[in-house]
Amino acid sequence: MSSPSDLLPKVSLTDGDIVRIAETVKQLLKDDIEKTVERVVNEKQIHLIDRINDIEEKQCNLESTLTIKTNQLNELHDLTKTRDEIAFQARAYVRNHRLKATWVVDGKIMVIGKDNNKHAVTRMYDLNDHVFQSDNFTEINELEDNQESEMQYASNGHDRVSEQPASHVPV
């Protein structure tokens, strides 16, 4: 019985043939990649920002949004890059219990501060202003200031216990 390799015709390839085959395969792969990338880029979704000017339409949209949210679904709000960063930071403050709640309505970022008041936030400064109005922030700020002064004191080569530079403290 003969082996399958004996049934195949014998072909001798030169180094030039191998290089030519490799270049052809390389070009085919490049073409496939270019076509795939072109297709993906062209099929990329373009978000439309819908501006609703009619009050009744806006009310209907908000009622629909409420219905969607009560069914455990969320509506995507397109925000500018800056407002997206502000909304991200606001959600982080909610997770860290620095704000009570945050949400987005018609591209406006709304927050409920520790004082239980609702605020519309348009700038990072506004967000930080509402977050840092709490009484706890002054305590946190004092702790951070004390830590910074301790670090600066130690970086000057002083030891807090002996009030001498650390290099002169006996071991």
Q: What's the predicted TM-score (pTM) here?
A: 0.38
Tell me how far apart the alpha carbons of residues 65 and 77 are, in angstroms, rounded to a whole number: 11
Determine contact, residues 163/170, Cβ cutoff 8 Å: no
pLDDT digits (tens, 9 = 90+) for 103-123: 888 778 889 888 888 888 888
Q: For residue 103, give both structure tokens.
A: 């949400």
Considering only residues 142 and 29, tell me which one the structure prediction assigns the higher pLDDT: 29
Judge whether 84 lies within some domain: yes
The per-residue pLDDT for 43 is: 57
Judge whether 107 lies within some domain: yes
Determine contact, residues 101/94, Cβ cutoff 8 Å: yes
Judge whether 120 lies within some domain: yes
* Structural domain span for residue 111: 77-158
The per-residue pLDDT for 44 is: 55
Contacts of 94 (CB under 8 A, 6+ apart): 100, 101, 102
Structurally, the chain folds into a number of domains equal to 1
Judge whether 12 lies within some domain: no
Judge whether 127 lies within some domain: yes
Determine contact, residues 146/139, Cβ cutoff 8 Å: no
Contacts of 3 (CB under 8 A, 6+ apart): none
Judge whether 21 lies within some domain: no
pLDDT digits (tens, 9 = 90+) for 17-72: 889 999 999 988 888 887 776 665 555 555 555 566 777 777 787 787 777 766 66
Judge whether 115 lies within some domain: yes
The per-residue pLDDT for 23 is: 92
Judge whether 38 lies within some domain: no
Considering only residues 152 and 140, tell me which one the structure prediction assigns the higher pLDDT: 152
